[in-house]
């Protein structure tokens, strides 16, 4: 029990530092202004409720967590700001921005910008089975096979999960997260 407390102290510290950050300048942002800061924070939150497939080798904390953004970066400087100190799953976060699917080396999480609307099938097909969590914030992306798709509802950031795509992949998403998410089913489209 004691060991467990020690283990989790690390998490408390990060959480507290993160809260201080929020309190400092994010509280007005929280509501309206910085939608993308919120989304960046959500990217980390998702990781808490998701088990990566074995291929991703997520357990090894000595190696960084690679977050790739494909297409036109909608985050601006938010990503860099949020993950300057924030780790994902105890791993240092490295953010890479690419414009083409061919440039993706290997990553744990792939944010697909809406600019890639036309290439979405190709991208998904490309990263399938590589242990990459695909995230988007464009309407219809979930139906296309993106695992988690962010959207706004009543001024708040919400998300939808393509359950079928998750089942097909080797990702395991906690029921806690699933309960919060809007479930999208796009079997036929995925098949296509």
Partner 1 sequence: MRLLRRLSIKNKLIAILMLTTSSIALIGLAAMAYINIKSFKQDLVNSCEINAILAADYSITPIAFEDRTGAEEIILTLQKVPYIVNVYIYDENGNIFATYMTNPNFGSTDLLDEYDRKPMSRFVDNHLHVVQPIYYQDVYYGTVYLLASTDLLSARIREHLILTGALVCCLLGIAYLLAMRLQAVISRPILDLATVTNEVSRSDDYTVRVINNGTDEIAALYSSFNNMLEQIQIRKEERDKAEEATKRLARILESTTDLVLMGNPRRGVAFANVAARKALGWSDSVDLDSMTLADIHPECQLRRITEESIRIAMDVGIWEGESEIKSADGRTIPVSQVIIGHKSETGKVENISTIMRDISERIEAEKELKLIAERLKTSQEAGQIGTFIVDVPRETWTGTEYMYRLFGIQDSGELTFDSWVATIHPDYREEMKTYMLHDVLGSGIPYDKEYKIIRPNDGAERWIHGLGQVEFDENGRPLKLVGAARDITANKQAEEDARNARNYIRSIINSMPSILIGLDNDGLVTHWNHQAEQLTGVSSSRAEGRAIQIVFPQFFDEMPSVERALHDLEIVKDEKKTFEFNGETRITDVTIYPLISEGMDGAVIRIDDVTDRERIEEMIIQSEKMMSVGGLAAGMAHEINNPLAGILQNVRVIQNRFSDTLAKNAEIATQCGTSISAIIEYINARGIAVMMESVIDSGIRAARIVENMLSFSRKSTAEVSTHNIVELLDKTVELASNDYNLKKQYDFRKLNLIREYADDDIRLACEAGKIQQVLLNILKNGAQAMADKEYADGVEPQMVLRVYIDGSDVVIQIEDNGPGMDEATRKRVFEPFFTTKSVGVGTGLGLSVSYFIITDNHGGQMSVDAVPGEGTTFTIRLPREQSDVQKVMA
Choose between 11 and 152: whose C-beta lies nearer to partner 1. 11
3-state secondary structure at position 77: coil
What length is written for the chain? Answer: 192
Q: Which is nearer to partner 1, 7 or 60 (CB)?
A: 7
User: Is 45 or 63 the residue whose CB approaches partner 1 more closely?
Assistant: 45
Min dist. Cβ of residue 44 to partner 1 (A):
10
Contacts of 8-14 with C-beta under 8 Å, sequence gap 24+, read 10/90, 14/85, 14/86, 14/87
Q: How far apart are CA 83 and CA 79, in angstroms?
A: 6
In the complex, the smallest distance separating the C-beta of residue 120 from partner 1, rounded to whole angstroms, is 25
CB-based contact 53:171 (threshold 8 Å): yes
Q: Tell me the closest approach of the beta carbon of residue 78 to partner 1, in angstroms.
A: 17
The 10 Å Cβ neighbour count of residue 94 is: 14
CB 65, min distance to partner 1, A: 16
Residues in the site for partner 1, rule: CB under 8 A? Answer: 4, 7-8, 11-12, 15, 19, 30, 42, 45, 48-49, 156, 176-177, 179-180
Query: Which residue, 175 or 191, is less far from partner 1 as judged by CB?
Result: 175
Q: What are phi and psi of 80, to 5 degrees?
A: -60, -40
């Amino acid at each position: 029990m004691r060991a467990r407390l020690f283990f989790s102290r690390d998490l408390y510290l990060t959480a507290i530092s993160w809260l201080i950050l929020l309190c400092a300048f994010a509280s007005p942002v929280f509501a309206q202004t910085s939608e993308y800061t919120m989304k960046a924070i959500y990217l980390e939150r998702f990781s808490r409720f998701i088990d990566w497939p074995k291929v991703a080798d997520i357990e090894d904390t000595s190696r960084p967590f690679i977050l790739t953004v494909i297409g036109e970066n909608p985050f601006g400087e938010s990503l860099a700001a949020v993950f300057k100190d924030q780790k994902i799953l105890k791993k240092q976060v490295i953010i890479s921005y690419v414009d083409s699917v061919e440039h993706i080396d290997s990553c744990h999480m792939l944010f697909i910008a809406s600019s890639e609307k036309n290439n979405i099938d190709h991208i998904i097909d490309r990263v399938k089975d590589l242990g990459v969590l695909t995230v988007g914030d464009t309407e219809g992306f979930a139906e296309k096979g993106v695992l988690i798709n962010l959207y706004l509802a009543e001024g708040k950031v919400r998300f939808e999960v393509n359950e079928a795509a998750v089942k097909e992949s080797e990702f395991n998403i906690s029921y806690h997260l699933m309960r919060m998410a809007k479930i999208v089913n796009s079997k036929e489209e995925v098949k296509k």
